[in-house]
Chain A
Amino acid sequence: MSSSSFPDPTRRALLGGALFGGAGLGLAQIALADLLQDGRWRPSISPSTPYAARLPHHRARAKRVLQIYCTGAVSHVDTWDYKPELLKRSGEPMPGAEGLITFQGENGNLQRSPWAFRPRGECGKWTSDLLPQLGSLVDEMCFVHSLTSKTNTHGPGENFMGTGFVLDGYPSAGAWVSYALGTENQDLPAFVALPDPRGVPQSSVNNWGPGFLPAAFQGAPFSANRPLAHLKGPDVARDRDVRAFLERANERHLAERGADSDLRARIASYELAARMQLSVPEALDLAGEPDSIHRAYGTDHPDKVHAGFARNCLLSRRLLERGVRFVQLFNGAYAMGEGIGNWDGHKTLHEQYSKHGPVLDQPAAALLRDLKTRGLLEDTLVMWVTEFGRMPTFQKGASGRDHNPAGFTAWLAGAGVKAPFSYGATDDFGHRAVEQVTGVHDLYATVLHILGLDHERLTYYHNGIERRLTDVEGRVLRPILDEG
């Protein structure tokens, strides 16, 4: 490295925007970047092996993350957040909510869930009949019932849950994690986003985009129903010979020009791509899975969406066991409109959720069980999230619920978290978080902590600020950590 000769007084300045950026051989500069003078930390990344596994800040409890991302805003009061008072006072006006205007306008009276709640698991946690199979796994789950969002619109809400910012243009959580930690299997992408069989979510690419991080760390969007773009060449034998010729051409060029790490990095990227061409189809090949597994996930379900999501669940497990660092599994898509392809139940909640519930329930429960059976939960953190919750009232003149960012539920499972456990609470009706109020940044501070990362030290310089996944907020939710 060359910093000694620089007129630049600080290493920070050197390692600033130019890191990956315009500084030509960007990646090369990072090779030595680690602990900066001011205590910030940057991963040490070699341009030839940008995905090499990197050490975290402290001992990691989880090596990888599965994010089950239900888009359209799942109603917490119809799933995980049991509110006896809401049952009791259904049909009455919500106290203190006179004239309350939410996203779509006025609200009607309190409305109990169309689904009964009952105690489940050994812990006896009450959850609803909408998701009975996931409900049967409550002993594995660590609920956060007091989440809040900063917006009540889906696009910004997904941005917030996906990137820590309501605005467009910020790196996704998976990009931050693969930037920090690289990955364990060099033959697969570090970060895979599996869109729902029905299409992409509201904020689409933002959820897995690199924002201003190097493009290397963006999620590769593919699923059991959608191929990875440009993975296959026209002809295996021809591709091999062309690639071999290309490598010889690049080696001749390199020899002529003297060792240059950026040239080497491009050569290496073709080797990596070639390995990916073999290993991605291998991971995608579900045919070798036993029938019992297919049945358990529901890949044979007559409903195409159900079967498609089940295949994505099964693929998620295969990616995780092959060492992919961050798997983002979507349930719900935007393209078909409000509430039809996602959890946005404004008008006819019962009808809409009666379709969506089973699609999520069996496959996701099978995935969780499968991860547990195979021991993957020991070092995999599962996070089930949605962009915000829904109102305990029905909308005026409708049989569905409006958006509610003031209180909603997410759950974690697997490595590093206490289970069964419930943290935080909403008020008697499920309207507002009132106990241990938690933000999305707190959730991510905790997730990063479990991955061995200090959310305040994992930064990237952009337009004048050392940016973080957690913006200027976030605290680790110590009570939910399994410190063992």
Chain B
Amino acid sequence: MLLALSLSLLALAPMPAEDGLWSLGPLVRPPLPEVGSDSDAHPIDRFVLAELEAAGLAPSPVATDHELLRRLCLVMTGLPPDEAARAAFDSTDWDAWVERTLASPHYGERWAQHWLDLVRFAETDGFETNTPRPDAWPYRDWVIESFQSDRPFDEFVLAQVAGDAIGEDAATGFLVAGPYDTVKSPDVVLTSNQRQAELSDMVNATSTAFLGLTVACAQCHDHKFDPIAQTDFFRMQAVFAGVQHGSRPWRDEVGLAHEARRGLLEEERARVQQQLGDLAGDVGPATLGAVVIDDEDPRMRALVEPTGKGMLAGGRERGQAQDPGDLTRLPNLAGASYTWWDAPARTDVLEVAPGLEGEYRLWISWGAGWGTHAPDARVRLESGGQRRHLATVDQRTFAGGVDSSAHGQPRWSGLQLVGRVELGAEARLVLTSGSGAGPVTADVVVFEPVGASDASLPQLRDGVLGTVNQERFEPFVADALRLRIEATVAPGEPCIDELEVFSGEDNVARRASFRTSGDYTGDPKHRPEHINDGQYGNGRSWISNTRGAGWVELAWEAPVTIERVRWGRDREQAYRDRLARDYVIEVRHWDGPWVVVATGEDRLPPFLERGDVAAYRFANVPDPAAVHAQVQRLTALEAELAAIPGPPSVYGGRFVAVPATHRLDRGDPLQPREVVAPGVPVALGQVDLDPAAPEQERRLALGQWLATHPLTARVIVNRLWAQHFGTGLVATPSDFGHMGSAPSHPELLDWLAVELIESGWSLKHVQRLILGSRTWRQSSRNRTAAAAVDADSRLLWRFPPRRLEAEALRDSVLACAGTLDRTPSGPGWSAFEPNTNYVRVYVPRTSFTGDSLRRMVYMTKVRMEPEGTFGIFDVPDGGTPCPVRGTSTTPLQALSLFNSPFVLAQSQALAQRVIDEVGEDPVAQVAGTYLRILGRSPACAEASDARDLVAAHGLASLARALFNSNEFVLFP
């Protein structure tokens, strides 16, 4: 994958020890030191012994088998050894046990956590809203998989900086793993400071994680201690200048296959559409002007009090509430119900006053499905003093008199064409009950202007959508346009994210002035000027100040010819409340009258779409059979396309065209100075990029440079060392500069770095070396004399003891109790109660079942808010990169581990399990509990002490005590 990379050391040009900084010195394999005590020793031991001997210290003896196995499992997998491992372990076969541990599926989970700390990974935005990022987890899984499969580290580095260039989409989660302030404002000072903070975070994460250099310290001025100029900071910033927080499609293997298939189908669809166009001639939806009047509409008025509503049966069959329709019938237009009357014979029950003038085709409908409905209800038209009988309908059947069998459930009849009617302004339609007394029903009627279509069904447009709606009409020369909203799909003030008005392909709304009926205030997301600002989405929208109504008027200084309008509520698809349902679009020229060019009346119910197929009208088609075949093919294509799952997304950043990067005086975005080309700190090397280099090229160049830099190797082997021993050879693993700590064993560090590179950047190779050393296997017991010389065992005269991290602690409790759910990968589990508040509020949960018994690395990591029980054990908050976790000891930790519902419940679970295994014998119960938790049998004194406790307070109390014991909580 890294074509340009040579793994030969020759490729690593000797670095100048600039400014005397040791970490920038040339990387060469150091000779193994001669040590007096053991010349056959493991290379690592020779480096360590040399320093120990110099300090007059001796190493400790090898730890016991019990300690070794426990240490190996906890350090390498974060879980204690299970019973089978304890039974089989043999320290003389150490290398095999090392291999077995490195191959454990829990190895990757454990080591990924260290990396996730370092890159400030969390699955919420942080700051005020701390909104979840539900698609951030693929990065976590990618890191786990990378460690598990021993992905070469150079490739691991490159993928995180430029994974999109090498087919590793999830990897760039690294770039945007940090906090992101989503509270935006029209205030430019705030906005530019926010952006600068994002970029600084990316530079900081990249330079500390890979190079161990604090380049971000040079944002305001040249680095005070290290050879990093302020310009160097902005060189690196320029690399990320086109990276924005956010999600993009995640093209994993399956996704890529889907994408390819989708491409083929879309190509074919375009061909079929083209052919259909050629065949059908008159193609494409125009705004048709049909009028749909439902029984809920005020234009429909009962003359006799209705008996009730017939609620349509649920389902997708003909006439049922969710009937999607097909080529021969429309989807359910009737809403949820029809109206019915238990009426005497031949009674006028309903009138419809459409208020339309002109010639229309009329369709009527009713409630069908019951054999009791009137077989001969009548419909007549009264217009201009004339009464005209229009139709007699059998309300037992569906429209057209088909399917007369009673379904025994209320359904919608569908539309029946009554014929052409000539309407005057006062015209009304009247429904009369049947010749016998009994139920008569009424539902939606449709008027379609004659000439709009001669299809057997009215040509209704797709229902309004939350995303975008289009209106086409005859070109009109206008100097004003208004959109009047008269009803919304759900109660609330209507919202429009953008109103576009087209003259050809030119959105002339951008040049219009605007007025509104009144504006919802108090939220910067919703402002009147967002109506035509060219930006989509709820965050840049207008909301009226009146429930269910409002208008927007655009005006032009010079008249424009307009023929198309597009409007939406939220083109980013997050919201579809506040959506206009009933609306009128009008235009006018000079002070002429307002002319209606589009309304919502010829639309299907909200959100219903007929799709492309319905868009083709087949008037005067010369070859109906050919059209039919093509329509069938198109239908099949649409179905197949619809069945392909949309690409999943990953919070891996969005890449946009790069703006120029300026050096900022004092790091202040309001004080830009000269333009800076993308690159790397001069003292570290050279990456030549043009100031106008394309976005991805910048990151690719940086990633390839980072992946081959000797400092990268030194930094990562030190991190590995730190997680094996608690402290790195360099105690400040993300700071190899002057402010950082100098290495305790500089030659050993270089030796490990060279081993890493020569092994093809295999982390597991370096870990094998470390685990194989006697240094790592020595006892952790204290020796007073040695401690007097080196209290912290930085020279490694013993294995330095330390507390388990929160994750290892929680996972170990679950593993011992036998309740650990080992399901890997996928979306995380939540440590917090479901939210019921106006904003996201994090209330820690106290009861854990189901997926919350998975490992903690699979917990959805919420920035800032600690998990309720174990968060207090120095879990980093995700605000800044955490290269070294604290190992505090606090009374609040003691309270948590001693009293939390989690530990009490797991103690109970463990006790029950032991009792199930060994029965009622208290001696066996005590022994079983020790084995499960500490992996050993109790000594005599312990056993009798424990039996007393169990006798008084039950076995769970013993488990609770042992989960709190130093022996359990510390690495042995």
Contact = CB atoms under 8 A, between A and B. Distances in A.
A246 B838 contact: no
B895 A168 contact: no
A249 B946 CA distance: 9
B367 interface: no
B217 A464 contact: yes
Interface stretch (B166-174, B637-645, B722-730): B722-730
A24 interface: yes
Nearest to B789: A5
Interface in A457-476: 461-466
Interface residues of B, number: 123
Nearest to A104: B524
A152 B187 CA distance: 9
B841 A22 contact: no
B865 A23 contact: no
Contact of B965 (A27, A212, A253, A262): A253
B782 interface: yes
B949 A26 contact: no
Interface stretch (A13-21, A85-93, A115-123, A424-432): A13-21
B759 interface: no
Contacts of B187: 101-103, 152
Contact of B185 (A152, A259, A346): A152
Nearest to A467: B880
Interface in A331-389: 334-338, 346-347
Interface stretch (A59-67, A130-138, A213-221, A292-300): A213-221
Interface in B855-900: 863-866, 868-869, 872-874, 877-896, 898-900
Contacts of A22: 722, 726-728, 731, 733, 802, 884-885, 887
A25 B882 contact: no
Given A203-B128, A233-B898, A265 B55 contact: no
Contact of A465 (B181, B739, B957): B739
A229 B904 CA distance: 14
Given A105-B186, A204-B842, A169 B877 contact: yes
Nearest to B781: A257
A347 B841 CA distance: 23
A243 B941 CA distance: 17
A153 interface: yes
Contacts, number: 376
A259 B784 contact: yes
A202 B128 contact: yes
B391 interface: no
A245 B946 contact: yes
A334 B521 contact: no
B886 A21 contact: yes
Contacts of B890: 50, 215-216, 269
Contacts of A29: 791-792
Contact of A335 (B181, B523, B787, B841): B841
Contacts of A238: 952-953, 957
Nearest to A462: B880
A478 interface: no
Nearest to A347: B522
B872 A215 contact: yes
Nearest to B962: A249
Interface string A399-428: 010000000000000000000000000000
Contacts of B881: 463
Most buried by A among B941, B949, B952, B966: B966
A204 B51 CA distance: 48
Given A104-B185, A168-B127, A270-B894, A216 B888 contact: yes
Interface in A1-56: 1-2, 4-10, 12-14, 16-18, 20-29, 47, 50
A336 B838 contact: yes
Most buried by B among A26, A254, A337: A26
Interface string A231-269: 111100011011101101110111001111011011111
Interface stretch (B284-292, B598-606, B740-748, B808-816): B740-748
B735 A17 contact: yes
Most buried by A among B51, B877, B885, B946: B877
Given A7-B742, A155-B128, A465-B217, A167 B886 contact: no
Contacts of A466: 739
Contact of A26 (B880, B888, B896, B904): B888
Contacts of A243: 898, 961
Contacts of B737: 464
Contacts of B900: 229-230
Given A22-B887, A220-B892, A238-B953, A153 B190 contact: yes
- Which 6 pairs show the lowest CB-CB distances between chains A and B? A169-B879, A155-B128, A464-B214, A258-B782, A168-B879, A273-B894
Given A253-B966, A272-B894, A464-B735, 4 more contacts: A13-B740, A150-B193, A233-B898, A273-B891
Interface of A: 1-2, 4-10, 12-14, 16-18, 20-29, 47, 50, 101-105, 150-156, 158-159, 166-170, 189, 199-200, 202-206, 209, 211-216, 218, 220, 228-234, 238-239, 241-243, 245-246, 248-250, 252-254, 257-260, 262-263, 265-270, 272-273, 276-277, 334-338, 346-347, 395-398, 400, 461-466
14 contacts: A2-B794, A13-B732, A18-B732, A23-B792, A24-B793, A50-B888, A153-B183, A156-B181, A233-B899, A238-B952, A258-B784, A262-B889, A270-B964, A338-B523
